Amino acid sequence: MKNVVRHVGGHRWNGVPVLNYKEEGTHFKAISRQILFEGGPKLGAELRYFEIEPGGHSTLERHDHIHSVMVIRGRGHCLVGDTIYEITGNDLISVPTMTWHQFRATTPEPLGFLCLVNIERDRPERPDEANVATLQALPEVGEFIRL
């Protein structure tokens, strides 16, 4: 059997291209995406590796599907719901359904994390003006979020 075990070194894997985080947009910064396991019907899930360079961030968004995240490189912070969390290696982060979330690489090292999602998932929703105002009124969240 081919490709049972794959690894190039560091956070790179054979047959796993380093992709743009999303097709387009200015609502994220300095983040790459690698699809480690594309799942398929027998698994039903997809495992991705995201890496954010220092100063970068993921999109501030929410959606019906959930994220199960594990940090495997560096440190940073994330918003989940109305709270900012400091995150570091081996931390597990659960992003519930329809919950605002954003990851930021807030230290001089990249922030890398695995993210498990259902294969069938809805499109993320970005905050409208009213959502932004609500988030900005929360302690710490206002200064944290990047739009």
Residues classed as catalytic = 115
Rounded to whole angstroms, the Cα distance separating 70 from 123 reads 22
Rounded to whole angstroms, the Cα distance separating 139 from 137 reads 7
Half-sphere exposure of 52 (CA within 13 A, CB side): 25
Residue 56 contacts by C-beta under 8 Å, 6 or more apart in sequence? 28, 29, 30, 31, 104, 105
* 3-class DSSP assignment, residue 15: coil
Residue 71 contacts by C-beta under 8 Å, 6 or more apart in sequence? 87, 88, 89, 90, 91, 93, 111, 112, 113
